[in-house]
Amino acid sequence: MNRKRNTTIRSGNIDGALKRALQGGFRCRVGFSRPQSIGSIAGALKRALQWLLLSSGVVIAQAADDPSAIALGLPLQCQTGETCWVANYLDVTPGPGVTDFRCGARSYDGHDGVDFAIRDRGAMAAGVPVTASAAGTVKNVRDGMDDTGLLAPGAEAGLKGKECGNGVVIDHGGGWQTQYCHMRQGSISVKPGESVPAGATLGAVGMSGWAEFPHVHLAVRHKGEELDPFTGHAVSSACGQAAGAPLWRQELKLAYEPAALYNAGFSPGPPDIKQIRAGEFTDVRITAQSEALVLWVDMFGVAQGDQIRMEIAGPDGGSVVSQDQKIEKTQARRYMFVGKRRTMLIWNPGAYVGRVTLTREQAGSAPWRATIERSLTIP
Ligand SMILES: [Zn+2]
């Protein structure tokens, strides 16, 4: 079902474990082919004006009954870039083909919301609250689906019509609704008809429904039309348009991330990506006698042509291992690792630093870079 994300399996460093590209969300999407109406242009202007007023310090009460005004908070309690990451944006290309609002590939066909991922299923088990992005009234709730998502063999057939998994729909008035999907089984703590303030806990992030990793899928609708909260535009408005007026609360400073290096670590041998993603790879011990020293990374949104540099520096600052690799295939999620076998009697005790840098060339501007670093002390 995901045409652009076929996964090849090659020498252990490609995400072949799931054989299917990352498909996070709620597949159903109502098609919209209407051109942008005068009304929605007027709405965008109005929102732009409101941003200006907000930034000039004028306080505007959130007018939920004003069809052009909504200001959304995050749909989960987290720190973006630290404990949560956008795994998929909306697909703004009507019909076949996939582009996010910046014309990148960080989406999949028909994806109608934003997927906010947490690090792994360990974080899911510990509990990350899903929160109301704005004040409103709970309209619908579904609970009771388990959190194996698409990982259970043959799961897809059983998820037909229930792709959202456990979820909540909130009505904000003025035709605005938000929907939260893939919540943890048994976690939903609100009932239909209940009023909730912005930021209220609705339940916990899970992996129910059409999900391969723990995340919350946030869909935003106005009068039934799906909007991209990054632009305020309808999903059919095509990529690369004028920035629009984001629906996010300004202080969130939610910017587009071309890719996300969301997890990394050391291991004494080839890492087990299934264990890593399950959150079961946390007490890995590396000693002076370990056979090998391996640095691994897990990333969202790698693109063909990206340059990945992986390096481990030893206690004296010298390089233990360093590798540059060019990404040959655009993939929604991919892990890689680099390592060195121990050739001396022991690893030198001291502090080691592992660093992974993704560099993406951009036409007409400086390359974009993202880095993740981990440190390790060998006693
Ligand atoms: Zn989704």
The amino acid occupying position 93 is T
pTM, entire model? 0.81
pLDDT of residue 292: 97
Instruction: Locate the domains of the chain by residue range.
Output: 22-252, 260-378
Give 235-279 pLDDT, tens digit per residue.
Answer: 888 788 776 789 999 999 999 999 999 999 999 999 999 999 999
Please state the separation of Cα 375 from the chain's center in Å.
24
Res 295: pLDDT: 97
pLDDT attached to residue 91: 94
- Compute, in angstroms, the gap from residue 221 CA to the centroid of ligand 1: 14
- Measured CA to CA in angstroms, residue 287 lies from 46, 343, 374 at distances of 60, 14, 16
Contacts of 373 (CB under 8 A, 6+ apart): 264, 353, 354, 355, 356
Q: How far does residue 219's CA lie from ligand 1's centre (Å)?
A: 8
Query: What is the distance in A from the centroid of ligand 1 to the CA of 175?
Result: 22
Ligand 1 geometric centre to CA of 235 (Å): 14
Q: Hey, what CATH class is 260-378 in?
A: mainly beta
Given the structure tokens 């050739």, which residue do they identify? 343
**d(CA 153, ligand 1 centre) in Å:** 20
Low-confidence ranges of the chain (pLDDT < 70): 1-68, 243
Hey, what amino acid is at 83?
Answer: T
Give me the pLDDT at residue 237, please. 80
CA distance 105 to 102: 9
**Cα 166 to the chain's mean position, in Å?**
18
22-252 — its CATH code?
2.70.70.10
pLDDT reported for residue 161: 92
Give the Cα separation of 200 and 320 in Å (integer).
48
Q: How far, in Å, from the CA of 16 to the mean position of ligand 1?
A: 21
Q: Which pLDDT value is given to residue 68?
A: 56
* Backbone dihedral angles phi then psi of residue 43, each to the nearest 5 degrees: -65, -40
Distance CA 166, CA 40 (A): 32
CA of 217 to the centre of ligand 1 (A): 4
How far is the centre of ligand 1, averaged over its atoms, from the C-alpha of 223 (Å)?
20
pLDDT in tens, 171-205: 999 999 999 999 999 999 999 999 999 999 999 99
Rounded distance from Cα 305 to ligand 1 centre (Å) = 26
